[in-house]
């Protein structure tokens, strides 16, 4: 799911964090995991000066793998350039006035120094600090200094909690397809209360096969257990505070009821609502209720826009081969501007024959026609919002320019860059320009990671009516891999015997450690995690199979691929895992994620006479061309 999920809570343009402050200190939101979702505790902290040692901030939070977000404003005493310091064990990020000035979101223990930033005496500047604790000791201490300001822990007297104003609604992103890509329109919707009938949300969007993502925060009036309701035609998914509480991502028309969720009065919780319209009527209406809250459409007054901060960079996935498989390293790269010479990006990778994929979002500054440039040695490809605008996938070294593309200022567009290094020098750089935008390397401020911040929705399942993963019949999202079909089959379109399935996506462990996977399978199965083949029993059989062990890091998403076939008799498949900290269980939906959308270039294949034989599209569909004896085109089929 390529969702904008990690840009919350702080902006000068959003009034729910305002310059006017309510009390001294910062608002602290505490989470019992590494990735700032599933709120456990909210309080005002006088300042950030914590050394929890082997303990935790509160009895509701485990001693390891927790995270905290502090927000509010900071008022300097002097109009000078300030430097901030964070003593952190482990990861930390710091924004001031929406500018990311410190980013060390990895397990580590040290004093970190920010970029310098000019502040004005007596002015309240927005501040946001994010922190996670992974293992062992836990420390978070915020200090500052300037020419006149001695280095010290930032005192309570200069910190203010965020003041909130009435809600303005949610951010709505509208797409002219079913799968939330190819952005057409961004706007603020007062609430989600739409009955488009046979129409569409906007003239730029077709009447059918469109989709919408609403994001922001929601503030309940009562400290109670809430239920949400979605009148939807067709599919819908709803997350509250990172928890997937409603998931009906199929064509249908009904009122859907969420899982219950306990919320605290006056607290802002993340909300993400995804919707698609397939055919016929189009409706999307969001309601809620609790013991004290009458069932009603969630009003504008309780809905807040997501805050936007400057970008954090792109997600970089590094591979020790030319063809982007067998992941070695994942990290956030502030910009794409590297010259490794004859070296490699990391000691785990050889200096030659490596490849990289960067993914995330890019936000233009101007509503204009843009052109992108790649400085590459060797191959490179660039997609913007699913459109392949540059394709130089061969051994070479030069600067290459893309097709032009029209972009709208402030909108965030999917970006994917793929690169391979074959021999000798290794370099890659991404630049852009437009009539107003001078040619420059695309800066960190305009690049956003697509890191997943919400609980998983499951894996992509591809179902085939033969045992060898051919004769494709059906694709769907499976919440978990826990099936007992008996003498039946997964779907009416598939025979009861001799079928096969491929599940793909990513899996996110909760704990650091060595994991073992278990496949309860009748019949054959193969399992890859992070490109490593851990189970290979591609024969008719019925048993529980145990994988090779694999070391995984808590909170990291790893590629997972499972292949299964049913040959005869009973059909069942169940995937479980365990580690020293993880009790053996079926891998839950919350830890399984759909595969990131990967764009593939269109391939043109010619016959021996130079005539177009077939075209393989980006979605893997094939168009074949047929000719008469004189070479005249007769027909094409898909």
Query: Do 435 and 349 have their domain in common?
Result: yes
User: Among 490, 486, 497, 456, which residue's Cα sits nearest to residue 476?
Assistant: 490
Query: Residue 376: pLDDT above 90?
Result: yes
- Model confidence band, residue 595 (pLDDT cutoffs 50, 70, 90): confident
Query: What pTM, to 2 d.p., does this model score?
Result: 0.72
CA 6 to chain centre: 8
| d(C-alpha 245, C-alpha 372), whole Å | 40
pLDDT digits (tens, 9 = 90+) for 346-362: 888 888 889 999 988 99
The shares of helix, strand and coil residues in the chain, as percent rounded to the nearest 5, are 0, 55, 45
Residue 385 pLDDT: 83
- Model confidence band, residue 189 (pLDDT cutoffs 50, 70, 90): very high
Residue 2 lies in a domain: no
Residue 618 pLDDT: 57
Query: Residue 128: pLDDT above 80?
Result: yes
Which residue in this structure is represented by tokens 């498989």? Answer: 325
Q: Does 633 or 247 have the greater pLDDT score?
A: 247
Residue 32 lies in a domain: yes
Query: Do 294 and 239 have their domain in common?
Result: yes
Residue 138 lies in a domain: yes
Query: Do 184 and 61 have their domain in common?
Result: no
Residue 135 pLDDT: 81
**Token code pair at residue 470:** 């051919």
User: Among 549, 556, 618, which residue's Cα sits nearest to residue 577?
Assistant: 549
Residue 601 pLDDT: 61
SS3 call for 591: helix
Residue 613 lies in a domain: yes
Q: Where among 428, 448, 468 does a domain terminate? A: 448
Whole-number Cα distances in Å, 468 to 465, 499, 501, 564: 9, 8, 9, 9
| d(C-alpha 36, C-alpha 454), whole Å | 9
Query: Do 346 and 222 have their domain in common?
Result: no
- Average model confidence (pLDDT) across the chain: 87
- Model confidence band, residue 599 (pLDDT cutoffs 50, 70, 90): low
Beta strands in 219-300 (DSSP E): 224-233, 235-240, 243-248, 253-257, 261-263, 269-277, 282-289, 296-297
CATH number for 503:
3.90.182.10
CB 103 within 8 A of CB 95: no
- Model confidence band, residue 553 (pLDDT cutoffs 50, 70, 90): confident
User: Stretch 113-120: mean pLDDT, rounded?
Assistant: 94
Q: What is the DSSP letter of 302?
A: G
Query: Residue 419: pLDDT above 80?
Result: yes
Which residue in this structure is represented by tokens 């034989």? Answer: 613
Query: Do 378 and 409 have their domain in common?
Result: yes
| d(C-alpha 197, C-alpha 216), whole Å | 26
User: Stretch 83-98: mean pLDDT, rounded?
Assistant: 92
- Model confidence band, residue 450 (pLDDT cutoffs 50, 70, 90): low
Residue 627 pLDDT: 81
- Model confidence band, residue 375 (pLDDT cutoffs 50, 70, 90): very high
Burial of 551 (0-12, 13-18, 19+ CB in 10 A): exposed
Q: By percentage, how much of the chain surpasses pLDDT 90? A: 55
Strand duo 447-448 + 387-392: pairing: unpaired
CB 192 within 8 A of CB 170: yes
- Model confidence band, residue 325 (pLDDT cutoffs 50, 70, 90): confident
Query: Do 145 and 177 have their domain in common?
Result: no
Query: Do 124 and 200 have their domain in common?
Result: no
Which residue in this structure is represented by tokens 């390891």? Answer: 64
Query: Residue 9: pLDDT above 70?
Result: no
**Token code pair at residue 286:** 């969001």
The least confident of 149-153, 181-185, 339-343, 572-576 is 181-185
Query: Do 436 and 549 have their domain in common?
Result: no
Query: Do 196 and 280 have their domain in common?
Result: yes
- Please give the radius of gyration of the chain, using alpha carbons only, rounded to the nearest integer: 26
DSSP track, 194-230: EEEETS-SSTTS-SSSEEEEEEEEE--SSSEEEEEEE
- Model confidence band, residue 620 (pLDDT cutoffs 50, 70, 90): low
Query: Residue 382: pLDDT above 90?
Result: yes
Which residue in this structure is represented by tokens 């919440």? Answer: 479
User: Stretch 213-234: mean pLDDT, rounded?
Assistant: 94
Q: Where among 304, 337, 364 does a domain terminate? A: 304
Residue 153 pLDDT: 96
Residue 9 lies in a domain: no
Q: Max alpha carbon distance in the chain (Å)? A: 87
Query: Residue 428: pLDDT above 70?
Result: yes
CB 349 within 8 A of CB 382: no
**Token code pair at residue 435:** 């009539």
Query: Do 35 and 152 have their domain in common?
Result: yes
Query: Do 32 and 102 have their domain in common?
Result: yes
Residue 4 pLDDT: 31
Whole-number Cα distances in Å, 186 to 175, 189, 194, 409, 410: 9, 10, 16, 11, 9
SS3 call for 444: helix
pLDDT digits (tens, 9 = 90+) for 454-499: 678 899 999 999 999 998 988 888 989 999 999 999 999 998 888 9
Note down the domain range covering 105: 26-160
Residues in the chain: 638
Residue 454 lies in a domain: no
Query: Residue 173: pLDDT above 80?
Result: yes
Q: Where among 282, 304, 326 does a domain terminate? A: 304
Query: Do 409 and 503 have their domain in common?
Result: no
For the chain, what is the domain count? 5
**Token code pair at residue 277:** 């319209």
Give the list of residues 6+ apart from residue 430 with CB closer than 8 angstroms, or none.
335, 336, 337, 372, 373, 374, 382, 417, 441, 442
Residue 3 lies in a domain: no
User: Stretch 368-387: mean pLDDT, rounded?
Assistant: 92
User: Among 362, 356, 327, 332, which residue's Cα sits nearest to residue 344?
Assistant: 356
Residue 15 lies in a domain: no
User: Stretch 236-248: mean pLDDT, rounded?
Assistant: 90
CB 321 within 8 A of CB 356: no
pLDDT digits (tens, 9 = 90+) for 31-84: 888 878 778 888 999 999 999 998 889 988 888 889 999 999 999 999 999 999
């Amino acid at each position: 799911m390529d969702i904008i999920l990690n840009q919350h809570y702080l902006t000068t343009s959003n009034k729910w964090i305002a310059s006017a402050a309510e009390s001294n200190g910062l608002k602290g939101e505490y989470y019992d995991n590494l990735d700032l979702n599933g709120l456990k505790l909210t309080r005002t902290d006088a300042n950030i000066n914590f050394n929890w040692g082997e303990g935790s901030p509160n009895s509701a939070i485990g001693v390891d793998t927790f995270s905290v977000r502090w927000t509010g404003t900071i008022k300097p005493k002097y109009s000078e350039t300030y430097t901030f310091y964070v003593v952190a064990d482990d990861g930390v990020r710091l924004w001031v006035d929406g500018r990311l000035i410190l980013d060390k979101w990895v397990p580590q223990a040290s004093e970190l120094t920010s970029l310098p930033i000019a502040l004005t005496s007596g002015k309240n500047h927005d501040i946001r600090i994010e922190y996670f604790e992974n293992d062992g000791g836990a420390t978070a201490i915020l200090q500052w200094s300037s020419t006149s300001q001695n280095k010290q822990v930032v005192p309570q007297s200069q910190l203010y909690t965020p003041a909130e104003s009435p809600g303005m609604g949610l951010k709505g992103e509208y797409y002219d397809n079913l799968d939330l890509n190819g952005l057409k329109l961004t706007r603020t919707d007062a609430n989600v209360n739409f009955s488009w009938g046979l129409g569409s949300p906007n003239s730029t969007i077709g009447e059918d096969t469109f989709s919408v993502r609403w994001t922001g925060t929601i503030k309940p009036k009562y400290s109670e257990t809430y239920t949400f309701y979605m009148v939807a035609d067709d599919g819908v998914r709803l997350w509250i505070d990172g928890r997937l509480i409603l998931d009906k991502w199929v064509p249908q028309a009904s009122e859907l009821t969420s899982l219950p969720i306990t919320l605290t009065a006056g607290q802002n919780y993340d909300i993400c609502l995804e919707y698609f319209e397939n055919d016929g009527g189009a409706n999307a209406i969001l309601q809620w209720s609790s013991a004290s809250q009458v069932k009603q459409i969630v009003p504008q007054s309780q809905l807040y826009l997501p805050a936007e901060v400057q970008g954090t960079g792109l997600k970089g996935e590094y591979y020790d081969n030319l063809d982007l498989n067998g992941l070695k390293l994942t990290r956030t790269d502030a910009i794409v501007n590297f010259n490794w010479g004859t070296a490699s990006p990391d000691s785990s990778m050889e200096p030659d024959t490596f490849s990289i994929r960067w993914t995330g979002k890019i936000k233009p500054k101007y509503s204009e026609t843009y052109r992108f440039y790649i400085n590459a040695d060797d191959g490179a490809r660039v997609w913007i919002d699913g459109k392949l605008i540059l394709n130089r996938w061969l051994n070479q070294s030069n600067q290459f320019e893309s097709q032009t593309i029209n972009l709208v200022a402030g909108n965030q567009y999917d970006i994917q860059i793929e690169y391979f290094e074959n021999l000798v020098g290794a370099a890659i750089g991404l630049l852009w320009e437009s009539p107003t935008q001078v040619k420059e390397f695309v800066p960190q401020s305009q690049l956003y990671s697509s890191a997943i911040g919400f609980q998983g929705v499951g894996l992509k399942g591809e179902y085939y009516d033969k045992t060898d993963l051919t004769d494709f019949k059906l694709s769907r999202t499976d919440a978990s891999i826990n099936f007992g079909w008996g003498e039946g089959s997964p779907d009416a379109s598939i025979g009861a015997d001799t079928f096969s399935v491929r599940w793909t996506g990513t899996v996110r462990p909760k704990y650091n450690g060595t994991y073992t996977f278990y496949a309860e399978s009748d019949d054959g199965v193969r399992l890859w995690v992070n490109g490593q083949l851990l189970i290979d029993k591609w024969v008719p059989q019925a048993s529980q199979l145990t994988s090779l062990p694999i070391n995984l890091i808590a909170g990291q998403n790893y590629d997972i691929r499972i292949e299964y076939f049913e040959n005869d008799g009973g059909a069942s498949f169940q995937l479980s895992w365990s580690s020293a900290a993880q009790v053996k269980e079926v891998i839950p939906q919350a830890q399984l994620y759909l595969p990131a959308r990967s764009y593939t270039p269109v391939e043109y294949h010619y016959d021996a006479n130079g005539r177009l034989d077939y075209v393989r599209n980006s979605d893997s569909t094939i168009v074949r061309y047929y000719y008469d004896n004189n070479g005249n085109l007769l027909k094409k089929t898909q």
